[in-house]
Structure 1
Amino acid sequence: MGKKKLNIPTIIFKTMSYIVIKDNNILEIIEEKDFSADNREKYLHKLIEEYPQIILGDIIEREVKTLASRLRLPSGGELDLLLIDSSGRLTIVELKKGKGHREAITQLLDYASDLQQMNEDEIFGSGKTKFNSLKDAFRTFYEDEEEYSYEEFRHIFLKSINDPKEIQLVLVSYDLGDDTKRLVEWLKYFKVRIFCVEFEYYKSENKEIFVPKLVGFEDIQKKSNEELTERQKKYLMFFSEILSRFKEIKVGVTERKATYNHWLLIPAGFGSIHFEWIFRGKEPNKVLEVGLHFEYDDETLNQKLLDYFKSKENELKKEIRDIKFGKFGKKWRKIYAEKLVGSLDNALNDEKVKEWAIMTMVKFYEVFKEKEEINKAMQILNQV
């Protein structure tokens, strides 16, 4: 993880025992290594603590943060990582640098039962959480924009520490034994939210590559409509329609499916650059935004990309009249257009709003992707 290398184009071929990276005309072969041979468990711990998304991308569609590391439990045990997502749901992560045995599953279940003996004050009063309170955690996701109300967020959090079927459990291991996988699949029949992630590890003199794989991904039950809030159902309905219509215009651009989040991404061909529809603000002043987002870990790079396109503002406004340039989050940047929709119901029922959302995204894609403006920007910045 960390800063992403900017040389383009980069092509990665993966085989059973090594990865071949073609970067322009340079070919590099990186061999698979035994992660447990050269690394300590605390190295894996620190990596996932800082970047939990590398193991949870297929499990949690929402933004996720580390709530606590090495949290001491009432029994005296110590769980590796406690994560919280933007809905308020908790996930316990147990890390094994080598082979994940059945005992690790027992340990996860024990930690879950132990954590559910704690209340909200005990968790945040432990001295191990990264936030002073649940409301502080909530604000790091939403700042002044609430797509979940704090009451909804807290309700899901409390269910995670009271209902055994609501907390999520994840075992991460370099190698998972068949007996471990069988036990996990058996527990899923009893509606236990338990997952296993194993990873391949490739290393050269100056590169490390992790390839995580969610074991049994095809068996994961997607969240049913009965579990969705009314607001989430509306998001899903809105994005399902506009995404379907966008795909009819831009055939083959994306295989992405609509979700129940308040945003939906369209890949731009670069890992941390993407197009996005997103609802902002509260009703009755809700805004729908279409934009191009720069979300690298390096804030300086995000700003350089924004500055590059801002220098072409007059030219871009000939294509997208109401284009704007801005900052969001702590370090990300965006180029966007916005429309006041008032409420989700208005957005769902107003054909003009949906037509605006679709055609504005089409225009963004044509200007920035099809005319290779992003590619040009990356090449120029690479020469600085």
Structure 2
Amino acid sequence: MDVWRRLLLAVVCGVAVAGVYAAQPVLTPMGDSFGVSAGQSGWIVSTGQFGYLAGLVLLVPLGDVVADRRRLIAVHLAITAVGLLLTSVAPTAWMAFTALALAGMFAVVVQTTVAYAASVSPPAERGRNIGIVTSGVVTGILGVRIVTGLLAEQWGWRSVYVLLGALALGLAVLVPRVLPPEGRSRRPAGYGQALTSLGALLGERVFLTRGLIAFFLFASFGTLWSGLSLPLSDAPWGFGEGRIGMFGVVGLAGALGAARAGRWADAGRAAPMAGFALALLILSWAAIAQLSWSLWLLVIGVVLLDFAVQVVHVSNQHTLTSAHAERTSSVIGAYMVFYSLGSALGAAATTSVFTSHGWTGSSVLGTGFATCALIAWAVGEGLSTGEVQAHLAEVHDAGVSRQTIPTITDKAVDGTAE
């Protein structure tokens, strides 16, 4: 796959997922528009996440049913555009929530796109291509904060959904014209068979481990990014939408810094790198918790958090698509159910916790989710509590130096060999 096609797939992922997260930096003005209280504003984001969850179960398995995923990608992008444009003109809360759920449901085009990228990639390049395409997801989640903040200050929050809807429509036209066919040799599975296979995956130790890691990983991620606008818009900072949105640049720096995650996975280091990144995730919250008095420590924490999330996410997907090359759509869709549930939990919980316990409470919540993710990884890899504590201490003492990375290589079995 050439660089331009990889870039197109990354843009598809970025635009689709941006529609689910565009509300994060403008929760306050959106809530005011629809009469939603500050304590309940997290549900604006969670609505899209629950739509996403429904799409993962009902729509993503279609990728293993249709003969040509390119057309499926185009159709899903077009319907996503409809949901985004309806959100931009919604006069009431229930109409906005319905439109956001529709956009979220068909934003699972992301998983079909990742499955397509894995399918057309040679085994030796699968991790690299998944890493590049998945970087579009993180870029969309964080980049939309920048765009949303800037546009909202000039033309209001609705302008963001107009832009995203137009981009989704344009991509729906472009995808079938530019991308090559997969040339799958196996006959596609039936829809019922694809749905049934989702339940069977829950009995697999490797899948369940990666799923639980994703659940807690993205609960921690959602705790930060769905709640960050609240303390930044409050005293002592009092930032507007534009300045809050610029923190997406910080997150992008961390996420794009993990661009080599796919290469590490191709080199057989998916599992140890995931463990290292999860330990780093826990430590990132120690810096993020200092937001009330230090923006610089917040910046450092955000960079570390998004680096860690991207490394773990790419490693998980590489492991699962390598183990289930014949049904990549279904396995990614089932895995992302955990992602969606975790993101929705983080988005809903952080606003409620912030209202009652401030940013300290939200930081404790994010740290707790990150710790649970590391425990799930350790149990899956068969590590003892002492080994995990020793690794955390190493990360704390040595920072993010490359020398710390191999320390658990001998303690964990790479996911592709499980």
TM-score normalized by structure 2? 0.28
TM-score normalized by structure 1? 0.30
Q: Going by fraction, where is strand more abundant, 1 or 2?
A: 1
The structure whose RCO (Cα within 8 Å, separation 6+) is larger is 2
